[in-house]
Amino acid sequence: MAAPDKKILAELKKLRAEIDRHNRLYYVDDNPAISDAEYDRLFDHLLEIERQFPELVTPDSPSQRVGAPVSKKFAVVQHRVPMLSLQKVTSEEEFEQFDRRVREGLETSGEIEYITEPKLDGLAVELVYEHGLFVLGSTRGDGRSGENITVNLRTLRTVPLRLSEETAKRCPLLEVRGEVIMKKSAFAHLNDALEANNLPPLANPRNAAAGSLRQLDSSVTASRPLMFYAYGISDTDLESLDRHQRVMELLRHEGFLINDLIAPTTGTEAVGRAFETLQSAREQLDYEIDGMVVKVDRFNQQTILGQISRAPRWAVAWKFAAETAPTVVEEIEFSVGRTGVVTPVATFEPVKVSGVYVSRATLHNADRIQELDIRKGDTVTVRRAGDVIPEVVDVDKSKRVKGTRPVEFRKKCPSCEEPITRSEGEAAHRCLNPACPAQLERRLFHFASKSGFDIEGLGGKLARQLIDEKLVRNPADLFFLTKEQLLPLDLMAEKKAQNLLNAIDQSRTTPLPRLIYALGIPSVGEAAAGLLAGQFETFEKFETTSTEELTAVDGIGPIIAACIGDFFANEGNQSMLKRMREGGVQFPVFQSLAATGKLAGKTFVITGTLSQPRGYFKNLIEEHGGRVASAVSAKTNYLLGGADAGSKLAKARKLGTTIINESGLEQLLNNTND
């Protein structure tokens, strides 16, 4: 077969650009310039050329959006910069409190410049562009890692496969974040098509979008009417992009779909008006939203405000009031959590709320039961708090059946029948029995989870058997189990028992952050556990740290500090930790490169165009113990500069900061005397 000549190459380049232009006109601008038949002719011509010259097929070709089967499970992707969640407010007063905290953090009494935009109800994803080429796409996941769904995201016409040369040069590494959604009208058409083919309809647009995007066969994703709306980028230190508004203008210029309702808004009164306007327009929009996102516009102010363990201090989600629906209470039950809290739960006839059928809702505590005066058989109003957690908000007493009796809060634990107590000043009732089966089952499940000791094979059913047979009285007992004890259990064959013991053995060297999380200390989630491990480095130092030292850790507040203090003051917990050590758990030192690397204690700022994406050098510096900051200050030790370094270079010279190039960084890393 003859090699393609210059004419073919030029035609191919022109054809791809033309198809990309029409994709943007159709999917992003909603302004098609040609008929579907004309578009099909262009696309068929592209396919014909690529069939003749397969060596010319590139990842950014429009033909690569079509979709093909992928692997049977998604690989895990670590986000270079965590994808944080947002704190929520639900009233004007709560937003004013957020604004007050922002002004206090910035030490200003003036009005803050915000950006407001609809909070889309879809699946958050990240798109990574290296030198202008889309190379990686992933879900948000837990914020620190997600699923690699690059092949599926490539099928979306609203995801540009290549950026302009100007932007590729300006931003060699660009991580674009946004939401994949399915419009209401498209969702209705999809369900009609599914039902016409005797297939079950999908529950709601959000579930439809998330499920479509996580298909193992990307041709299914390609067939679904999905759209990607960009809402930001990961970095806030790119040259000349000093505020969120300018980033959105750049993304719009590059062909990303940007919500038309995004707007700069200054001060709390203007933000309040924007919220009311958006709430009034909600039903007329062709996509689901559950509130409004408010962000501080200026990136230097975002940097000053920083973040807590899982959320930025410079942004908030102002949520709409939840949708409600009536139903009838069938029973009021009581459940026991892993910390011993006894929670009343109402079960009722299934009812659809915010697109999801629910049949259970928390009643929170005894005070809430008394406040509602809820009874079995009552007609109640149910909502999903934050459009997620079902709760009862009202009782229609006009429909109450005669003869019903008020609910009496249990005096004994529904699991172990031990007395339950309510401490002064606390809303919750607790079972204080450390051997309570319900608590222990949930603690075991938490302890053995992937985010904890990652003991594969230890599910809820097996946990219950281990407790019932009195083989495990607290998580530490897992490290003393034998095959002879396991084999008599239901469905426990030789191989399954050995696999479980192998998993337990491997878990004895669990890294410190996961070990801290696994202990189930109230209020200490994965993010807080990581902060604590990085700060104290050894478990011994962590468990003997005072409340004052804990609250000094950025992201650890007084509530978390108090929970940690209470945990270690408990004799039962101390006994469990002692038994864990006797069982071979190693309580490893957290390997902090900041203390051991060649760049330990040094702060770098990176600027200009380098031979590799900026993220490459950031990771390289951090791998050797250094820290990378976004702005030059008196605390900056080195400025790593490339071509077109700009204002950061000028500031570094003014402050007397040591300026190095890539060769200089290599010399630092090769210097054995450091």
Residue 73 lies in a domain: no
Do both 210 and 300 map to the same domain?
yes
What is the phi/psi pair of residue 584, to 5°?
A: 95, 5
Q: Is residue 316's pLDDT more than 90?
A: yes
Residue 432 lies in a domain: no
pLDDT at 31: 64
Q: Is residue 120's pLDDT more than 50?
A: yes
pLDDT at 37: 64
pLDDT at 619: 65
Of 13, 88, 119, 402, the catalytic one is 119
Encode pLDDT of 419-432 as tens digits: 888 877 777 888 88
Encode pLDDT of 84-94 as tens digits: 888 889 889 99
pLDDT at 355: 65
Residue 427 lies in a domain: no
Torsion over CA: 574, 515, 307, 647 (sign): positive
pLDDT at 533: 85
Q: Is residue 585's pLDDT more than 90?
A: yes
pLDDT at 384: 74
Residue 113 lies in a domain: yes
Do both 127 and 218 map to the same domain?
yes
Do both 56 and 188 map to the same domain?
no
Mean pLDDT within 252-259: 94
Mean pLDDT within 634-648: 82
pLDDT at 278: 94
Do both 548 and 641 map to the same domain?
no
Rounded alpha-carbon distances, angstroms, from residue 652 to 277, 329, 636: 45, 67, 8
Q: Is residue 587's pLDDT more than 80?
A: yes
Of the listed ranges 147-151, 335-339, 471-475, 656-660, the least confidently predicted one is 335-339
Do both 105 and 61 map to the same domain?
no
pLDDT at 69: 44
pLDDT at 268: 95
pLDDT at 255: 93
Mean pLDDT of the chain: 85
Task: Tally the residues of the chain.
Answer: 674
Is residue 192 very low, low, confident or very high in pLDDT (cuts 50, 70, 90)?
A: confident
Rounded alpha-carbon distances, angstroms, from residue 70 to 75, 137, 150, 156, 181: 11, 14, 10, 16, 22
Residue 201's CB: how many other CB atoms inside 10 A?
13
In 400-493, which residue ranges form alpha helices assigned H by DSSP? 437-447, 460-468, 483-486
More confident residue, 336 or 26: 336
pLDDT at 633: 85
Mean pLDDT within 524-532: 81
Reduce the secondary structure of 525-583 to three states and give it as a string: CHHHHHHHHHHHCCHHHHHCCCHHHHHCCCCCCHHHHHHHHHHHHCHHHHHHHHHHHHC
Do both 243 and 270 map to the same domain?
yes
Residue 340 lies in a domain: yes
pLDDT at 130: 93
pLDDT at 629: 79
Do both 234 and 128 map to the same domain?
yes
Mean pLDDT within 474-484: 94
E strand map for 140-255? 145-147, 173-181, 227-233
pLDDT at 559: 82
Range of the domain at 471: 437-507
- Give dist(CA 359, CA 348) in Å, integer: 5
Q: Is residue 29's pLDDT more than 70?
A: no
pLDDT at 595: 54
Residue 618: give its domain's CATH number: 3.40.50.10190
Is residue 478 very low, low, confident or very high in pLDDT (cuts 50, 70, 90)?
A: very high
Encode pLDDT of 347-398 as tens digits: 988 888 766 788 888 888 888 888 899 999 999 988 876 555 788 888 999 9
- Give dist(CA 632, CA 653) in Å, integer: 10
Residue 307 lies in a domain: yes
Residue 57: give its domain's CATH number: 1.10.287.610
Of the listed ranges 77-86, 308-317, 622-631, 659-668, the least confidently predicted one is 622-631
Considering 319, 347, 362, which residue would you say is the last residue of a domain? 319
Q: What is the DSSP letter of 335?
A: E
Encode pLDDT of 125-141 as tens digits: 999 999 999 999 999 88
Considering 319, 349, 376, which residue would you say is the last residue of a domain? 319
- Range of 73-77, 314-318, 549-553, 661-665 with top mean pLDDT: 314-318
The percent of residues in the chain predicted with pLDDT above 70, rounded, is: 93
Residue 518's CB: how many other CB atoms inside 10 A?
22
- Range of 102-106, 338-342, 559-563, 612-616 with top mean pLDDT: 102-106
Do both 387 and 403 map to the same domain?
yes
**pTM for this entry:** 0.56
More confident residue, 485 or 531: 485
* Residue with the two structure tokens 């976004």: 630
pLDDT at 32: 66
Specify the amino acid at residue 15.
L
More confident residue, 169 or 433: 169
Is residue 108 very low, low, confident or very high in pLDDT (cuts 50, 70, 90)?
A: very high
- Give dist(CA 345, CA 391) in Å, integer: 9
More confident residue, 674 or 165: 165
Q: Tell how far CA 155 is from the center of its chain.
A: 23
Residue 398: give its domain's CATH number: 2.40.50.140
Distance from the first to the final alpha carbon of the chain:
58
Residue 448: give its domain's CATH number: 1.10.150.20
Buried b / exposed e along 550-565 (16+ C-beta atoms within 10 A): beebebbeeebbebbe
pLDDT at 2: 63
Do both 305 and 207 map to the same domain?
yes
Q: Is residue 593's pLDDT more than 80?
A: no
Do both 129 and 219 map to the same domain?
yes
Mean pLDDT within 106-126: 94
Helix, strand, coil content of the chain in percent (nearest 5): 40, 20, 40
Do both 444 and 417 map to the same domain?
no
For residue 71, give the 3-state DSSP assignment: coil
Considering 456, 486, 507, which residue would you say is the last residue of a domain? 507
Do both 259 and 274 map to the same domain?
yes
pLDDT at 673: 47
Rounded alpha-carbon distances, angstroms, from residue 516 to 452, 477, 498, 536: 8, 17, 27, 12
Mean pLDDT within 588-592: 74
More confident residue, 671 or 29: 671
Supply 626's token pair: 């250094």
Instruction: Reply yes or no on whether 119 is catalytic.
Output: yes
Contacts of 658 (CB under 8 A, 6+ apart): 637, 638, 639
Residue 495 lies in a domain: yes
Domain total for the chain?
6
Mean pLDDT within 198-216: 81
Q: Is residue 247's pLDDT more than 70?
A: yes
Residue 588 lies in a domain: no
Contact between 528 and 309 (Cβ < 8 Å): yes
- Give dist(CA 337, CA 443) in Å, integer: 9
Residue 136: give its domain's CATH number: 3.30.470.30
